[in-house]
Structure 1
Amino acid sequence: MEHAVPFRSFSSYRAKRNYEGVYPFRNLNIQVEFESLLEGLFLLQLDWENTATALTAQPFRPYWDNGEQVRSHIPDYFCRLDNGDGLVVDFQPKERVDEAAREAFKFTRKLCEEVDWGYRIYGNPDTHLIKNLRLFKQYASFECDDRYVMSILRAAAHKTNITDLISFGTSQDISSTVTRRLIYRLLWERKLQTDW
């Protein structure tokens, strides 16, 4: 499924109200299209989590009869995870889930359960996490001497906050700017962890 051709292409027209673009998915080294800000935020979080080994948009279109009409729904993404599992993702803020969306999501969840895939509705991301991830990703490509990396990682075993790590870096003749950028890179790579 992760190699499926998208069932439909993203439409584009003048005065379109949603935010769309292409996300540079760093850990898979691919460009992934998204057609809403919410999808873009999900891709950022999935990239940071580093659990996806493959990803495709608009992967399939199931049909079902609800007793009144034949309906269909195209999920937004299919992800293959590093443990081999499949994950299907739809997007909708909780306050905007109407009866039609509820029915589509329920059917899609049941379908995913039948083939042992996970199913997730991504609706209201943690704003603190997203702000931090946007910051960290800016420094994902930051390069510096490997000795600095090892020095900061060793210090992180004993230092409890970023300010202490920056002070440590300065004491080791690593500028505060380099130390800060390196810390953000290591947080993006999940080599350092912090609570939000």
Structure 2
Amino acid sequence: MDLVDVEWVDGERNGFRRGGLASVSEVAFEAARPVRRFSSYRGQRHFTGWYWAATTESLVGFESWLERDRAMLLDADRRVVGLSSQPFRLTWPDGRRDVSHTPDYFARLEGGSGLVVDVRPADRMEPRDAEKFSATEAMCQAVGWSYQLAHEPDPVLLSNVRWLAGYRHPRYRVTEVSRRLLDAFAEPAGLAATAELVGDLVAVLPVLYHLVWCGDLRIEWSTPLGDGSLVSAAVVGHG
């Protein structure tokens, strides 16, 4: 691990920095700028773009729809308090040549720990890729970070998160409506019927979905979100 080189773009100085693996455990990679550009060209087979993350109120880049979906899932994860894409480049010796790898995401978690995420479709895992991912996981463990190799997410979970992400912006937190919804769902109750008791659904539902996104209201993520979904207020002080 002493021979691993880490390169990143300082979020404040907007310049490249470099250090050994052992020296970067305290770097705020959640604030780093992408270490490489998100290219776009005619005939490109994958889709690149920017996702607005509510967690940081900033743009996070992606290089495929699968990466976009993973950014959305990280944004929806209440443990995540910071998020960046293409956060750093790792380079290490492998025999007579150097090997480089740039993970897809870095997430700062509650409590200060880090999570490094690589995204790859399960059917596109080549042996050389697996070796890089395995080496990256070992490097993360060496500095006290978690590591995740993410494939295609559960389709029901993703469907729910995609819908709720449409209401992730803070503008949907209407104070008075939020208070009434939290009171109405103090005990588990059906989504639509209870929301209708609070007021006009056109005004109430966007606030409800925002509160679910933020974790103030809870649903069962493993079942499709619908009018009959059970919703309950989160218990303060519990996970």
- The answer to whether TM tops 0.5 is yes
Whole-Å separation in 1 of the counterparts to 2:173 and 2:216: 15
How far has the Cα of 1:183 moved from its partner? 1.6
Cross-structure match for 1:191 = 216
Q: Retained in 1: the 8 A contact 2:51–2:60?
A: yes
- Contact kept, 8 Å, 1:159 with 1:165, in 2: the verdict is no
Counterpart of 1:23? 51
The structure that is strand-richer by fraction is 2
Point out the structure with the larger helix share.
1
Larger mean CA deviation between 62-71 and 79-88 belongs to 62-71
1:150 maps to: 179
| Deviation of 1:101 (Å) | 0.8
Which amino acid in structure 1 is aligned with residue 187 of structure 2? Answer: H
| d(CA) in 2 for partners of 1:80, 1:46 | 10
Alignment of 1:82-93 (within 5 A): 82-93=110-121
Matched, 1:163 2:163: no
Tell me which of 111, 114, 120 is aligned to 2:139. 111
Query: Residues 45-70 of structure 1: CA distance to partner in whole angstroms, max 9, x if unpaired?
Result: 11111333333322222233444753
Preserved contact between residue 116 and residue 140 of structure 2 (Cα < 8 Å): yes
User: Does the residue aligned with 1:62 lie in a helix, a strand or coil?
Assistant: strand
Gaps of 5+ in 2: 1-26, 224-239
TM-superposition CA deviations, 1:123-146 (whole Å, max 9, x none)? 1112212221222222233254x3
Q: What secondary structure, in the 3-state scheme, does the structure 1 residue paired with 2:159 have? A: helix
- What does residue 179 of structure 1 align with? 204
Sequence identity, in percent? 32
| Structure 1, gaps ≥5 residues long | none
Hey, what does 2:99 align to over in structure 1?
A: 71
**Aligned alpha-carbon RMSD (Å):** 1.9
